[in-house]
């Protein structure tokens, strides 16, 4: 189950990275990926800003309102999605056992 959650996290973070860098051109697919992208982007923006203020790391590229995130932050996003995906898989397994 951990391996499946890890794979889901990698795929979700990669799709969010592709959407962030305008590599997804199909509008319907952009809407589907934005469900993951928008909350993840704001969490990574907070983490990047915190790391920039505390340690002086430059992880936010350009822009004032919605800057581009450094590529390393998207790897952190994959790690952040792992507990969420594990929880969803365990929740799905429990519901499947009840039926």
* Res 65: pLDDT: 66
Q: How many CB atoms within 10 Å of residue 4?
A: 11
Phi, psi of 59 (to 5 degrees): -105, -5
pTM of the model: 0.81
Domain locations along the chain? 2-98
38-94 pLDDT tens trace: 999 999 988 888 888 888 777 777 766 677 788 888 889 999 999 999 999 999 888
Sign of CA dihedral 61, 6, 9, 87: negative
| Region label for 62, one of left (φ > 0), alpha (ψ between -120 and 50) or beta (otherwise) | left
* Phi, psi dihedrals of residue 56, rounded to the nearest 5°: 80, 15
Paired strand residues for 42? none
């Amino acid at each position: 189950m951990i391996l499946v959650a890890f794979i889901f996290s990698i795929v979700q973070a990669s799709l969010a990275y592709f959407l962030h860098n305008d590599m997804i051109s199909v509008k319907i697919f952009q809407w589907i990926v934005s469900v993951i992208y928008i909350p993840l982007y704001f969490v990574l923006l907070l983490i990047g800003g915190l790391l920039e203020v505390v340690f002086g790391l430059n992880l936010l590229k350009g822009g004032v309102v919605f800057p581009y995130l450094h590529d390393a932050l998207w790897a952190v996003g994959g790690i952040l999605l792992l507990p969420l995906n594990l929880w969803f898989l365990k929740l799905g397994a429990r519901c499947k056992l009840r039926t």
